[in-house]
Copies of this chain bind each other. A is one copy, B any other.
Amino acid sequence: MLLAQIHLTLPVWVHDVVDASAVHASDADKVALAITLSKHNIDARTGGPFGAVVFGPTDRVVAIGVNRVLPQNCSLAHAETMAYMLAQQRLQRARLNENADGQRDGRYTLATSAQPCCQCYGATVWAGIDRLLIGARSEDVMELTEFDEGPLPADWVGELNKRGIEVVRDLHRDAARAVLRAYGEQGGDRY
């Protein structure tokens, strides 16, 4: 039996938490929403303690993602990758900031509750974003949870900068750490 279809979903609660018409003007506002999603995800036990949001040129939500690895048996289903796939599907573009002719068209931002792991780092290179906004640092993730962040290039920020992606860190870092800590205290990664 050869499977030929993949189907991934977000939890149903996302529709109650996210207002797609709201403007999230500042970098901090954007990461705050990603952290809110990470908190809902552990409270509802619908995945790991990570949330991410793609914002478009008008500072409104294009798509959101939360970690769905264990509920959906899919190691690809991290918060950032879910957000990228859903944003690309909504815009019908494989690179968010390029139109069908390969021309730059609009500025897109990913806000994430914690520094992308090695997989989401690589996905960020191809997704077509202009800015990456980060809450918790990878050392916070490794201190407060059992998650490994995986191997990155030594100058991971510089490699993104070279490809036109600006990186801003430590936005609401304490709030992001609090969600990671709460998750660790719940007893780990078995959902």
A109 adjacent to chain B (CB < 8 Å): no
Residue A1 contacts which of B20, B76, B119, B159 (CB distance < 8 angstroms)? B20
**Across the interface, which residues of B come within 8 angstroms of A58, CB to CB?**
none
- A92 and B73 within 8 A (CB): yes
A84 adjacent to chain B (CB < 8 Å): yes
**Across the interface, which residues of B come within 8 angstroms of A20, CB to CB?**
1-2
- B151 and A86 within 8 A (CB): no
What is the total number of residues of chain A having a CB less than 8 Å from a CB of chain B?
56
- A73 and B93 within 8 A (CB): yes
A99 adjacent to chain B (CB < 8 Å): no
A69 adjacent to chain B (CB < 8 Å): yes
| A residues neighboring B (CB under 8 Å) | 1-10, 12, 14-15, 18, 20, 61, 63-64, 69-70, 72-76, 81-82, 84-86, 88-95, 117-123, 125-128, 150-154, 156, 159
A-B contact pairs, 26 of them (CB 8 A): A1-B90, A2-B18, A2-B64, A3-B86, A3-B89, A3-B90, A4-B9, A6-B6, A6-B82, A6-B85, A6-B86, A70-B94, A74-B85, A74-B88, A74-B89, A75-B127, A76-B84, A117-B126, A118-B121, A119-B126, A120-B122, A125-B150, A126-B150, A151-B153, A153-B154, A154-B154
